[in-house]
Amino acid sequence: MTDVYSREKRSEVMGRVKGKDTGPELKLRRLLTRFGLRYRLHRKDLPGKPDIVMAGRRTVVFMHGCFWHGHDCARGARAPKANAEYWTAKIGRNVARDRRVQAELAEAGWRPLVVWECELKDEAALDARLRAELGL
């Protein structure tokens, strides 16, 4: 199957995909702020540049998109039809990198937490999970 966009248009579309301050990330930040927590964003001195860093708690939070990080939910399990080999390899590399980064953080004494994009649909359940994980 060929792409519906030209190379230039596809490049423009993909260039608009954000890596920071995404909608799901902002929603997670609002939730943590409601808990009264203070945090820093995207610390470059930590492995994987975590989305949220709570240094006092030695905890980092990654906001993962289900598709991009290979979650086992319906959205994450969806396989692209176009250029499937490329996307399967790319998502596999992302998953491997995520595991490596979390292991490095744990080894350095940090507690990595992952919040999946699909978890934002049930805010009450996410609220309860985060309160339990963070001891609030």
* For the chain, domain boundaries: 39-134
Buried b (16+ CB within 10 A) or exposed e, 20-54: eeeebbeebbebbeeeebebeeebeebbbbbbbbb
Mean pLDDT of 55-70: 94
The pLDDT score that the predictor gives to residue 1 is 54
The mean pLDDT of the chain is: 91
Low-confidence winner among 8-12, 17-21, 80-84, 123-127 (lowest mean pLDDT):
17-21
> Which superfamily does 39-134 belong to?
VSR Endonuclease (3.40.960.10)
How far apart are the C-alpha atoms of 35 and 107, rounded to whole Å? 27
How far apart are the C-alpha atoms of 135 and 19, rounded to whole Å? 29
